[in-house]
Amino acid sequence: MSELKKWLVHENILVRAARARVLGFAFLAVAWFVSYYFLPYGVLRGVFPSANLPLGNGFFSAFLTIFLFNLVVGCGLTVALNLLSAKSIPLGYFYPLIQVSIFGIFLGTDSFAISHGSRLFPSITIISGAGFYELTAYTLVAAATARLTLWNQTGWLGGSLERIKTRKELKLERSEVFTATLGVLLLLVAAAIEAISIIGT
C-alpha cells in the first residue's frame, strides 16, 4: 500500500496524473477482458440513471446536458472525495477507477443504451470514443485536486479521523489548475463526441 501512496501522491502533478492514468488503463483492461469472456451480453444496459438523461432533440441540448452532468456529478464527486483520504491515499482517485471498470464492462458486454450490435473486443480503438476522454478528464481532475485533503482516516474501514489541513490551506498550484482545466476541456470533447453519436442515430 505504501507503493500505491507513492504513485498517487507524488509532488509532481505530471507524475501522479500519468501514474493514475496507467492504473486506470490496468483496471480497464482487466474489466474489459473479464466482461468480454465471462459476463452476460448487455448485463448493465439501463442500470445507471445517466443512460436515461433527457437529452432533447438537438446537438446543443444533448451536448450541454451530457457536459453538465459529467462536470457536476463526475468531477464534483471526485473533488469532494479528495477532501478525505484513507491511509494517506486521496479517495477521489477511486471514482475514476470505479468508472473505468464499469466502462470496461460496458465495452465487453455491449451494455450501451445505443447498442453496437455485438461485444467489443479489447483494442486501442477506444481512444476515438467519448468514454476515453471522459475518464481521462476524471483522472486529471483527481490528480489535480489530490492535495486538497482535509481529513485522513488512519485505516481503510476504521481507525481515527485526523484533521490534516485547514480550509485556508486548500489551494491549488498553477500546474494543478492547468491540469484540472485540461480535464474540463476533455469533458467538452467527450460531450461533443457523444452528442454527435446520439443525434446521428
Measured between alpha carbons, how far is residue 64 from residues 110, 115, 131, 182 in Å?
A: 25, 22, 16, 18
Q: Could you tell me the sign of the dihedral formed by the alpha carbons of 13, 15, 19, 21, in that order?
A: positive
Q: What is the pLDDT of residue 157?
A: 80
102 neighbors 70 (Cβ within 8 angstroms): no
Give the number of domains in the chain. Answer: 1
199 neighbors 62 (Cβ within 8 angstroms): yes
Q: What is the pLDDT of residue 48?
A: 76
Residues of the chain with pLDDT under 70: 1-7, 49-52, 200-201
Segments forming the whole domain that contains residue 56: 2-199
pTM of structure: 0.91
Neighbours of 6 (CB within 10 A): 12
Q: What is the pLDDT of residue 156?
A: 83
Q: What is the pLDDT of residues 127-170, one digit of tens each?
A: 888 999 999 999 999 999 999 999 999 988 878 899 988 888 88
Q: What is the pLDDT of residue 1?
A: 53
C-alpha cell at 174: 498553477
CA dihedral 168, 174, 176, 178 (to 10 degrees): 130
With b meaning 16 or more CB within 10 Å and e meaning fewer, what string describes 136-168? bbbbbbbbbbbbbbbebbeeeeeeeeeeeeeee
170 neighbors 117 (Cβ within 8 angstroms): no
